Amino acid sequence: MQRLPHPIPALILGAGIFLAPATRAGDITLALPIDCRLGETCYIQHYPDRDPGPGVRDYSCGAVTYEGHDGTDFALPTRAAMAAGVAVLAAAPGRVRAVRDGEADGALLAGASVKGKECGNGVLIEHGAGWQTQYCHLKRGSIRVQPGETVAAGTPLGLVGMSGLAEFPHLHLTLRENGTPVDPFRPAHDASCTPVAQTGLWGSALPYRPGGLLETGLAIAPPDYGAVRAGLPPATRLPADAGALLLWAYGWESVTGDVLRFVIDGPAGFRFEQERPLKKGQALFLGYAGRKAPAAGFPAGTYRAEASLLRAGKVIAQRSTLADLGG
């Protein structure tokens, strides 16, 4: 199997985004490169970094990126979603130039070196007129195309994984024109940004989200963070003798000053409400709040809960859940 050529700029993630010359209309149109419902079963963890200096700035003047990030990260909420299998799709018609497979998923977290193979398992497609797309971090053994093969937009290339330089399951997509990374959300050659969502080179506009909540659940004790990241399902039934009742929320891209609001409503007029400030920004985060059981225990019945993520006093994401206690 032909290997992905090395070095290629996108194989070393963090090498920097260099904006291409002004894009010519009609050169390339991109489709969503992952088989999921954006904002529901997948989300954009990072956009390309447009800041030419040491700072960070995404196309919408936000900070949903990191220094030198040259592509778009389409992430899955949990490893369970990765295990279930989510297809990576060709974003535009073209010819497969190279592939790499056989790299272990989670190698970085296991302490293994990924030097020279930061992209992990991947596919490189040429689209003509100097355009290329590169797809990184695919699941080992999942790649379905061969070098020289012609593909249409939407052709399955493999499955989302976490091979190479990856700490969570995601697809890293890099678009290049004549070897230079291009931001598909705002392909203009300047280093400015636009504080509104726009189509860019996508066939249809992809909504901009500056952060959000991936899952929430009721529990009787704080959940294990590793279990949540792996795909801990929200509880649907809690024991009648629960010594505590709490609501947890798992989300992405918090910033310093964000607030998690927790609300639990239950039978017999039960209500719990609390806000918890987030002390620092994190790519992925877990928060929870709750109360101990009263002397007579929690009343049996259905408890409904809602977690909200607030930024500058405004709700930017909400998720709800419910569970039956006792009975």
Domains of the chain: 1-209 (2.70.70.10), 212-325 (2.60.40.10)
pTM: 0.88
Model pLDDT, residue 22? 43
Take residue 94 and report the two structure tokens written for it. Answer: 């073209």
Contact assessment for residue 20 and residue 143, using Cβ atoms and an 8 Å cutoff: no
Model pLDDT, residue 13? 35
Interval 141-152 mean pLDDT: 98
pLDDT class of 189 with cuts at 50, 70, 90? confident
pLDDT class of 241 with cuts at 50, 70, 90? very high
* Tokens 């504080």, residue located: 195
The burial of 276, by beta-carbon neighbours within 10 Å (0-12 exposed, 13-18 middle, 19 or more buried), is given as middle
Model pLDDT, residue 309? 98
Of 53-57, 142-146, 245-249, where does mean pLDDT reach its minimum? 53-57
Q: What is the pLDDT of residues 24-72, one digit of tens each?
A: 545 799 999 999 999 889 999 999 999 988 889 999 999 999 999 999 9
- Residue 7 in this model has a pLDDT that exceeds 70: no
- Rounded CA-CA distance 50/81 in Å is 30
Interval 276-286 mean pLDDT: 93
DSSP, res 204:
S
- Rounded CA-CA distance 147/99 in Å is 7
Percent of the chain whose pLDDT exceeds 70? 91
Interval 168-178 mean pLDDT: 97
- Residue 240 is which amino acid? A
